Amino acid sequence: MARERVHFMASASAPAQAALAEVTGRYGQTPLTQADVVVAIGGDGYMLHTLHAMTEGELPVYGMKTGNVGFLMNRFVADGLLARLQAAELVALHPLRMRVRTQAGEQVDGLAINEVSLLRQTNQAAHIRISVNGSVKVEELVCDGVLLATTAGSTAYNFSVRGPILPLGTDALALTPISPFRPRRWRGAVLPASARVCFEVLDPDKRAVSATADAFEVRDIAAVDIHESRALSLRLLFDPEHSLEERILNEQFR
> What values do phi and psi take at 11, rounded to 5?
-70, 175
- CA 144 → CA 122, 123, 166, 171, distances in Å? 10, 9, 23, 27
Contact call for residues 122 and 207 (beta carbons, < 8 A): yes
The identity of residue 20, as a single letter, is L
Q: What b/e readout covers 29-48, taking b as 16+ CB neighbours within 10 angstroms?
A: ebeeeebebbbbbbbbebbb
Instruction: Determine how many CB atoms are found less than 10 A away from the CB of residue 135.
Output: 7
Q: Could you give the residue numbers annotated as active site?
A: 44
Pairing type for strands 234-238 and 89-93 reads antiparallel
Minimal CA–CA distance to 204: which of 220, 187, 180, 182?
220
d(CA 133, CA 176): 17
Contact call for residues 9 and 40 (beta carbons, < 8 A): yes
